[in-house]
Amino acid sequence: MDCIFCKIARNEIPSKKIYEDDYMLAFNDINPQAPVHILVIPKQHIPSLDEINTGNSDVIAKIFECIPPIAASAGLINGYRLISNCGSDACQSVGHLHFHILGGRQLPANMA
């Protein structure tokens, strides 16, 4: 698989890991848009939100269970934003499902 996030999940490309278990990996974004900018990915290759289904939604549930403690461990006591860009209109640039955790400053109210 020539997927950059699969390579990060396999430790073939280095990343600054925040959290890891059998199902997911959280690491710092290479181009942070906020003081805290963490990406959370499933280790299995799921291209985007559009490919979540009954066969892989257990992993998605595990990711969502882990997001609050990951945010808390990053010190995001005043809140954070969770984003997943899906497809070209949303400017998804890496074709491996990922969730951006953004925080550490007041974020703009209008995202569009």
Options 20, 23, 66, 85; binder of ligand DGP; rule CB under 6 A: 85
Residue from 37, 96, 98, 100 carrying the catalytic annotation: 98
User: Where is 39: in which H helix or E strand?
Assistant: strand 36-42
**82 phi and psi, to 5 degrees?**
-115, 125
- Whether 98 is a known active-site residue: answer yes
**Smallest Cα–Cα separation from 45: which of 14, 83, 6, 17?**
6
11 binds ligand DGP (CB under 6 A): no
Options 9, 24, 27, 43; binder of ligand DGP; rule CB under 6 A: 27
Smallest separation (angstroms) from ligand DGP to the CB of 25: 10
6 binds ligand DGP (CB under 6 A): no
User: Looking at 53-61, 64-72, 91-99, 101-109, which segment touches ligand DGP (CB under 6 A)?
Assistant: 91-99
Q: How far apart are CA 90 and CA 67, in angstroms?
A: 22
Taking a C-beta distance cutoff of 8 angstroms, is the pair 70, 38 a contact? yes
